[in-house]
Structure formats: C-alpha cells, structure tokens
Amino acid sequence: MDLLGLLVYPGLMFLLALAWFYEWLDRRFFARLQNRYGPIYTGPHGLLQPLADFIKLLAKEDIEPAAVDKPLFRCVPILVPTLPLTVLFLIPISGVGAFVHFEGDLIFTIFIMSLLAILAFLGGWSSTNRFSTLGGLRAAMQTLGYEVPLAMALIGPGLVARSLSITKIVEWQASNGLWIAVLTPIGFGIAVLAMLAELEKIPFDIPEAETEIVAGWQTEFSGRKLALMRLALDLELVLAAGLITALFLGGPSGPIPFIPNIVWFLVKTTFVVLILTNLRALFARFRIDQMVSGSWKYLVPLAVIQILILQLLLR
C-alpha cells in the first residue's frame, strides 16, 4: 500500500498530473487576463498541452556546448525536479497527515527551497555562457532578497501551532476550526509574494528575463534537460500552492466533513495558483536592485512585525 501511494496516489503519478494541470491553469488564466486564448488545441480546451510540450522536448536534440562544465551541466537538470518532488511528500494532500512527516520538516522544506536557487546559479555558471552566467548571478542575488522574509513568513504558522511539522500545523488548524491566514494575514501576503520570486515569475522573472538575457540561466539547456527543468517549474508551482495551503489555509481539511480531503486540497491550491497568476498579470518586471532593496525595506520589517505580534499574542 505504501508503494502504491508513493508511485500513484498521492505520489508520483498524481503529482505529475497535478503539476501539468496547474501549468495549464496558469497559462489559460494568464491568457484570459491578457485577452488571449492560451492553450486550446491539444486535448479538451488545450488541457493536454503541457504534457505534449514535455513529450516534444524529450524528443528534441539534446545539445551540449563544448565549453560547458559537463558533470555539473548534466546534474543540474536532474536535481532541479527531484528536490521539489521530494518535498511534496511532506505536504498533506489526501488527508491531514502527509505521506512523510517529522518534527522539523518545515525547516527542511525551507532548506530545500533555498537549494533550488543555488541550483539555478550553478546551472547558469556551468553553462559558461554570458547570458546564462548573468542569469545565474541574478538568481543568486534575488535569493538574498526573498529568502529571509519567506522563511520568517513560513515560520509564523509554526509559532501559532507550536510545532515545526507541516502535518501538525495542519492538524492544529483542523482541530481549532481556524485558518492561520486569519491570524497572520501579513505572513500570508509575504508568503504569496515571496513564492512568486521563488518561482521566478513576473514581476520577479529577473533571472530568466527573455527580453534582456535570452532565457537567463536556462539559455544553453535543450532537449531532455530543458524538459526536466520545465517539469521542475511545474512541480515548484504545486509545491508553492500546496505549502501555502497547508500552512495558512488549513491544508486538505474543510468545514464540510462529507466532502473528501483531496477536493478541499484541490480547491484551495487552485485558489492560490489563481492568486499567483493574477499578480504576475498585474505587474511588470522589476530590476534586480528594486527587488532586493524593496524586499529588505518592506517585506523583512513586515515579517519581523508579524513575528513580534505573534509572540505577544501567544504569551
């Protein structure tokens, strides 16, 4: 049963299907906000377009420039989807408890999300391409802006539930009938904004700015490597939506008991994905200096204020 859960539901196959579905939803809603159609041809309403894109990239020629650091250049596309997929097993999906959980798994999740930014830097650096290197440096610099407020925002629910286990935070919300987003609206807002930067989506798509540095740190990747990196971005979107849902919106638990937990999870994560898509449709790209300075001027003080308020309220 554990092997079935690991491979099928709520494991690998379910997470891949959900990742492609949320990519389709993101592209479709973003297109509608810009008065475009978005994916429409492959599958009903274009639903199978992300899968078709993945298969197409797998069939493309995989080109490695002669000057790249080959071991690192080959390892990065493998590690980039592996890390978010690993962390997704720590998030409750089909029930209040996650597939794997332990005290401190929230800290482990924050650590893995930090490694993703490091991999972006290494991917650009190993390409030995001026656009890739610049994109990697931007990814590393951007991390200095959003990682601190994101970590502080995600720790807030842990302070409320008095636990650093994502499962126990979800259990606290289910037992108290209260979403932590109600108690920490500042943290919820910071988490949403910082997740946009984590996903490198507009207005924080600075490391991949196609109008400035081609495709940023991904410029030299093609074929199977690019397919894996596209898949990683989709998995990160599921991770971002699932983590915000678990920590702030009660996870897969809901007020109506006869509705299955997975339905609540899908509804809540879809709501978070639509928020992220709406925000990236509203804003234009920031410069890297604007992003970093703005984070330290506004997001970090707000995150500190939230922590202080929680400490006073929870005495």
**DSSP of 26-68, one letter per residue?**
HHHHHHHHTT---S-SSSGGGTTHHHHHHHHHHHS-----TTS
Helices (H) and strands (E) in the chain, counts: 14, 0
pLDDT tens track for 43-68: 888 899 999 999 998 888 888 888 88
Looking at residue 238, its pLDDT comes to 94
- Computed over every residue of the chain, the mean pLDDT equals 88
In angstroms, the CA 76 to CA 131 distance is 17
Indicate if the pLDDT at residue 108 is higher than 80: yes
Looking at residue 124, its pLDDT comes to 85
In angstroms, the CA 64 to CA 296 distance is 38
Read off the tokens for 243. Answer: 């983590």
In angstroms, the CA 14 to CA 5 distance is 10
Looking at residue 94, its pLDDT comes to 83
Burial of 188 (C-beta count, 10 Å sphere; 0-12/13-18/19+) = buried
What kind and span of H or E run contains 116?
Answer: helix 105-127
Look up tokens 């971005």; give the residue.
Answer: 233
Indicate if the pLDDT at residue 2 is higher than 80: no
pLDDT tens track for 4-25: 777 887 878 889 999 999 999 9
Q: Residue range 169-195: average pLDDT? A: 91
- 34 compared with 240, residue with greater pLDDT: 240
Q: Where are the domains of the chain?
A: 3-314
With bands split at pLDDT 50, 70 and 90, how would you rate the model's confidence at 168?
Answer: very high
pLDDT tens track for 240-290: 999 999 999 988 888 887 888 899 999 999 999 999 999 988 888 888 888
Look up tokens 């390892």; give the residue.
Answer: 75
Indicate if the pLDDT at residue 166 is higher than 90: yes
In angstroms, the CA 207 to CA 139 distance is 5
- 77-101 b/e with 16+ CB inside 10 Å = b? bebbbebbbebbbbbbbbbbbbbeb
